[in-house]
Structure 1
Amino acid sequence: MIATTRTKADAALVAAVEVARAALVADVDPTSVGEHLGFEAEGDRVGSHLFACEAKGYHGWRWSVTVTRAPRQKPTVAEVVLIPGVESIVAPQWVPYRERIRPGDLSPGDLLPVDEDDPRLVPTYSFGDDPLDADAKAQVRQVAQDLGLGRIRTLSPEGIESAAQRWYDGEPGPESPLAQAAPANCFSCGFLLRIAGSLSETFGVCANGDANDDGRVVAFGHGCGAHSEVKLTKKQQPPPLPEPVVDTLRDDLEAL
């Protein structure tokens, strides 16, 4: 038996293979218990015997039987569990639903609430210096709405920076394959609509109905083949049509 950790293995526990196997076959289907794979010391007079799992659908999994003993006492079984091995097929790490949402996932009627403390947003108006609970804040928002003060929250500097970085690094940015193959960038395109605000020096909106990005935010360094000033070279232009040939052998041409 080989201990796989730095903890010194208790000799009595290492030798308790049959004690562990007996407890295992009493707790699970005996046909699912395979050969003994070794012993792992986990602490002072605590360790686990590992057995191969032969159950269908559990390739690479192992039965782990934890054994322990008090000083000058015989080993006893503390726990029997099934654990994955290196070759086991396991479920991917769970990701919260909010973090799995991607652009395009929402369908008509779907709702995606924004957290009250979302760092991408800041209040358009102040609640004052006094701490308020959720109900009091809701009343302030209602009054602001009734007075026509506009949006309850607006983008924070962090929210603006996050959006700008996402757009610049994504398909609307200058590094996308479409932009790299473009003859010129959006900054010089007549179809670029300017925007206001802090992003006006970096982004605009495409207004070319023939372009892939029509109606979307694009970086000035972005580009595509539908640039307003693009010209075809002689090689790219379609060949001219040949001169028409008149059929002089037919009498009915005059009637036409």
Structure 2
Amino acid sequence: MSVAFDSGAPANSALVDAVAFARDALIADGEKPGDHLGARAEGDYAATHYFAAQVPGYRGWQWCVVVAGAPDATGLTVSEAVLLPGDDALLAPEWVPWVDRVAPGDLGPGDMLAAPEDDPRLVPGQIDTLDVDPVDRDQVGQVAGEIGLGRKRLLSFDGRADAAQRWYDGEFGPASAMARSARHSCGTCGFYLPIVGALHGAFGVCANELAADGRAVSADYGCGAHSDVRPVTGGGSPAYDAYDDGAIEVVTTAKSAGAAESSAADAATQA
């Protein structure tokens, strides 16, 4: 059973009633339309017919066929036929550009991940040595490499700020559980290798293979493997030194002496 939708426009009854004509147009195009869901008058010259779509993977979608014709003419024509989603249609999630989908940890062996040309984290950073004497050009290039020049792109202020904030708030920052329970900070540790550049004073790399080895750590981060941690003395529990009972002096009081004499008398009586 079809339903006539009211569009508020004058209706051409011949176009609204052209259900079979609209269905045949879909069949001629190789489709298999389902039930007729209704028709909508689009004025005196067009009407839209809706059919259930029996297309695998398109649950809740429907065929939309626009039939056109003049009110005083007997011939009909199909303006367009499209597949449209219904109210309960199964739709794909909204498309998100890859640059917004990539997350830390997604990069695998062999993957290529190019930074956008307009990446705000990077700025041009190349150095021109073409006007330097060829004999000195290699030396200039070596010095430039040591101080961080010679690369086509360098971290911008925003790039450095983003990295610093991410590292400071992360697992190896001062707010982590490990850092809060540590007595010493990384900035005073012998295993701490400060990084070069603008972040020199705030971050470094841990060189202790038993701690945060190879990780960027905040100078305010800390752990129990600091180079200034001293080994525990004694052979007892790691939390306490061994109990030395040889340093205790035994003192006999009057009460304890009377108890000792009483015990001796009882022992003699039993004997």
| TM-score interval, smaller chain | 0.5 to 0.7
Quote the residue 1:217 is aligned against: 216
Quote the residue 1:79 is aligned against: 80
AA aligned to 2:181 is A
Quote the residue 2:5 is aligned against: 2
Between the aligned partners of 1:163 and 1:9, the Cα distance in structure 2 is: 60
AA aligned to 2:157 is P
Between the aligned partners of 1:56 and 1:154, the Cα distance in structure 2 is: 51
State the 1:26 CA deviation: 2.6
Between the aligned partners of 1:39 and 1:235, the Cα distance in structure 2 is: 86
Structure 1 segments unaligned to the other structure (5+ residues):
128-138, 241-256
User: Given that residues 203 and 217 in structure 1 are in contact (C-alpha distance below 8 angstroms), is that contact kept between their aligned partners in structure 2?
Assistant: yes
- TM-score, normalised to structure 2, is 0.56
State the 1:157 CA deviation: 1.2
Between the aligned partners of 1:220 and 1:168, the Cα distance in structure 2 is: 9
State the 1:217 CA deviation: 1.4
AA aligned to 1:27 is D
Aligned-pair RMSD on alpha carbons?
4.6
What is the 5 A alignment of 1:123-162? 123-124=124-125, 147-148=140-141, 149-150=144-145, 151-152=150-151, 153-162=153-162
Between the aligned partners of 1:172 and 1:118, the Cα distance in structure 2 is: 26
Between the aligned partners of 2:30 and 2:230, the Cα distance in structure 1 is: 73
Between the aligned partners of 1:157 and 1:46, the Cα distance in structure 2 is: 60
Quote the residue 2:164 is aligned against: 164
Quote the residue 1:252 is aligned against: none
Residues 230, 69 of structure 1: CA spacing in aligned structure 2 closer, same or farther, 3 A cutoff?
farther
Aligned residues: 215
AA aligned to 2:28 is A
Between the aligned partners of 1:54 and 1:168, the Cα distance in structure 2 is: 55
Quote the residue 1:53 is aligned against: 53
Q: Structure 1, residues 82-129: CA drift from partner, whole Å, max 9, x if none?
A: 2333544444444445554444444555544445544322233578xx
State the 1:155 CA deviation: 1.3
Q: Structure 1, residues 38-59: CA drift from partner, whole Å, max 9, x if none?
A: 4567899666432211233332
AA aligned to 1:188 is S
Residues 116, 10 of structure 1: CA spacing in aligned structure 2 closer, same or farther, 3 A cutoff?
same
Between the aligned partners of 1:186 and 1:40, the Cα distance in structure 2 is: 76
User: Given that residues 174 and 222 in structure 1 are in contact (C-alpha distance below 8 angstroms), is that contact kept between their aligned partners in structure 2?
Assistant: yes
SS class of match (1:11): coil
Identity %: 47
SS class of match (2:25): helix
Quote the residue 2:203 is aligned against: 203
AA aligned to 2:160 is I
User: Given that residues 11 and 44 in structure 2 are in contact (C-alpha distance below 8 angstroms), is that contact kept between their aligned partners in structure 1?
Assistant: no
Between the aligned partners of 1:165 and 1:42, the Cα distance in structure 2 is: 58
Quote the residue 1:25 is aligned against: 27
Quote the residue 2:64 is aligned against: 64
Q: Structure 1, residues 200-247: CA drift from partner, whole Å, max 9, x if none?
A: 454333333223x421113456566x4536999x99969x9xxxxxxx
Between the aligned partners of 1:104 and 1:114, the Cα distance in structure 2 is: 16
AA aligned to 2:82 is V
Residues 230, 64 of structure 1: CA spacing in aligned structure 2 closer, same or farther, 3 A cutoff?
farther
- TM-score, normalised to structure 1, is 0.58
